[in-house]
């Protein structure tokens, strides 16, 4: 256990400590790694529900008449066309097409968006947005320090929310589609309620001012317990997102990679009119094709591959693992890896060098795990 004195604390840090969490540094924040068993936390999200503190994520509000065209210039996706109350997954790239971050953007009003970057990238995203805002009639406001974010994820998430919203908002919750968001009152607190997540399950994310975060957390925990909800840390968040085949910035996504290596080509919109940052480089990369591709690997043995382990074909290095874990749900090792495009076909058998001994892995389609709908 390392105790960091420089990491930032979320508004819920005392709650986590009281629940007996062990902490880890993540993106400059002292975050709960787990409260008890990370496997139990993982399974709770798959079978009932888990409660996560995600307040380390950034929140950047973009407001003004040019908000849509500005975001279309700053990000690779088409944000101007999404409906009010909807969200979209997007990327922000460098002029040479490298990925600065992946982010969720909510359209809250005709001229108002909320951009949510990863914790460690929030300063870089803010700086890029501010720089790219020159000449547009928009305000870019960093609200990260004042805003908390908690997530309720799992099949019981909706039932838990329904107990905590007023009668008049029951239909707002039941009718809310995946990747939609609306203002709601949860346990007496006004929140931005979004049906988004990073676990492969149904679930909600709640944006709330710091001052109201602890009471909201406690209400969700108390009401949720009756539905099997437990608090969950970053260890289970990582194994859950990996089973769902979702990339993590710093592992699968970096500035050295473009969306085309990462399998995120469809996120890039060349149809939009704006000459967005990275456009020329990404058009060229799309035309020439990526030489490396992100693939899913299923372990045929029991030992798990881990980040940075070499991927081999007939003894020759053809790639590298970016994330790997023994899948708690599937019962076998799973991993994400970049491999030479010629080895990316599902069904291809490759070896992973696990600390000097190789184990066979098979390329499989993503995601590894998909919930029953």
Partner 1 sequence: MSTVLPTLRYSAEHEWIDDASPAKIGISQVAADTLGDIVYVDLPEAGSTVTAGEACGEIESTKSVSELFSPVTGTIVEVNAEAAENPALLNEDPYGAGWLFTVEVDEEGPLLSAQEYAEANGGELA
Residues that bind partner 1 (CB under 8 A): 1, 34, 37-39, 42, 235, 238-239, 302-304, 306, 325-326, 328, 355
7 vs 327, which CB is nearer to partner 1? 327
263 vs 299, which CB is nearer to partner 1? 299
212 vs 237, which CB is nearer to partner 1? 237
- Check the annotation: does 205 bind a ligand: yes
To the nearest whole angstrom, how small is the minimum distance from the Cβ of residue 318 to partner 1? 23
C-alpha to C-alpha distance for 193 and 215, rounded to whole angstroms = 16
17 vs 280, which CB is nearer to partner 1? 17
To the nearest whole angstrom, how small is the minimum distance from the Cβ of residue 23 to partner 1? 13
To the nearest whole angstrom, how small is the minimum distance from the Cβ of residue 188 to partner 1? 36
To the nearest whole angstrom, how small is the minimum distance from the Cβ of residue 145 to partner 1? 29
Instruction: Name residue, tokens 């005392």.
Output: 14
38 vs 66, which CB is nearer to partner 1? 38
To the nearest whole angstrom, how small is the minimum distance from the Cβ of residue 78 to partner 1? 38
Output the 3-class SS for the chain: CCCCCCCECCCCHHHHHHCCCEEEEECCEEEEEECCCHHHHHHHHHHCEEEEECCCCCCEEEECCCHHHHHHHHCCCCCCCCCCCEEEEEEEECCCCCEEEEEEEEEEECCEEEEECCHHHHHHHHHHHHHHCCCCCCEEEECHHHEEEEEEECCCHHHHHHHHCCHHHHHHHHCCCCCEEEEEEECCEEEEEECCCCCCCCEEEEEEEHHHHHHHHHHHHHHHHCCCEEECCHHHHHHHHHHCCCCCECCCECCCCCCCCCCCHHHCCCCCCCCCCCHHHHHHHHHHCCCEEEEEEEECCCCCCCCCCEEEECCEEEEEEEEEEECCCCCCEEEEEEEEHHHCCCCCEEEEEECCEEEEEEEECCCCCCCCC
To the nearest whole angstrom, how small is the minimum distance from the Cβ of residue 330 to partner 1? 12
316 vs 357, which CB is nearer to partner 1? 357
Query: 224 vs 51, 217, 221, 298, CA distance in Å?
Result: 8, 10, 5, 34
To the nearest whole angstrom, how small is the minimum distance from the Cβ of residue 232 to partner 1? 13
The number of beta carbons lying within 10 Å of the beta carbon of residue 40 is 15
1 vs 168, which CB is nearer to partner 1? 1
C-alpha to C-alpha distance for 68 and 62, rounded to whole angstroms = 9
To the nearest whole angstrom, how small is the minimum distance from the Cβ of residue 246 to partner 1? 17
173 vs 304, which CB is nearer to partner 1? 304
Per the annotation, binding residues are 205
Per the annotation, binding residues for substrate are 205
């Amino acid at each position: 256990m390392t105790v960091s004195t420089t990491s930032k604390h979320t508004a819920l840090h005392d709650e986590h400590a009281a629940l007996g969490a062990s902490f880890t540094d993540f993106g400059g924040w002292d975050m709960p790694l787990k409260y008890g068993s990370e496997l139990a936390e993982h399974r709770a999200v798959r079978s009932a529900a888990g409660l996560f503190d995600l307040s380390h994520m950034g929140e950047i509000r973009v407001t003004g008449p040019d908000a849509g065209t500005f975001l279309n210039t700053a990000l690779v996706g088409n944000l101007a066309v999404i409906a009010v109350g909807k969200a979209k997954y997007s990327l922000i790239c460098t002029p040479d097409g490298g990925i600065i971050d992946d982010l969720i953007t909510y359209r809250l009003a005709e001229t108002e968006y909320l951009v949510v970057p990863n914790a460690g990238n929030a300063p870089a995203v803010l700086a890029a947005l501010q720089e790219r805002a020159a000449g547009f009639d928009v305000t870019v406001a960093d609200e990260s320090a004042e805003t908390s974010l908690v997530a309720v994820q799992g099949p019981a998430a909706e039932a838990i929310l329904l107990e905590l919203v007023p009668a008049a908002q029951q239909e707002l919750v039941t009718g809310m589609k995946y990747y939609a968001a609306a203002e709601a009152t949860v346990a007496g607190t006004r929140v931005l309620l979004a049906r988004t997540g990073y676990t492969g399950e149904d679930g909600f994310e709640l944006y709330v001012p710091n001052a109201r975060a602890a009471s909201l957390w406690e209400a969700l925990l108390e009401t949720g317990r009756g539905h099997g909800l437990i608090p969950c840390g970053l260890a289970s968040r990582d194994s859950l997102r990996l089973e769902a085949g979702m990339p993590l910035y710093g592992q699968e996504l970096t500035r050295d990679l473009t969306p085309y290596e990462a399998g995120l080509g469809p996120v890039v919109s060349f149809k939009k009119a704006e000459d967005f940052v990275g456009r020329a480089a990404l058009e060229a990369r799309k035309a020439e094709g990526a030489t490396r591709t992100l693939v899913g690997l299923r372990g045929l043995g029991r030992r798990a591959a881990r980040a940075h382990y070499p991927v081999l074909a007939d003894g020759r290095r053809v790639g590298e693992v970016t994330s790997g874990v023994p899948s708690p749900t599937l019962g076998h090792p799973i991993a994400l890896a970049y491999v030479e495009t010629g080895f990316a076909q599902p069904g291809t058998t490759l070896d992973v060098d696990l600390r000097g001994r190789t184990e066979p892995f098979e390329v499989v389609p993503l995601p590894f795990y998909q919930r029953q709908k």
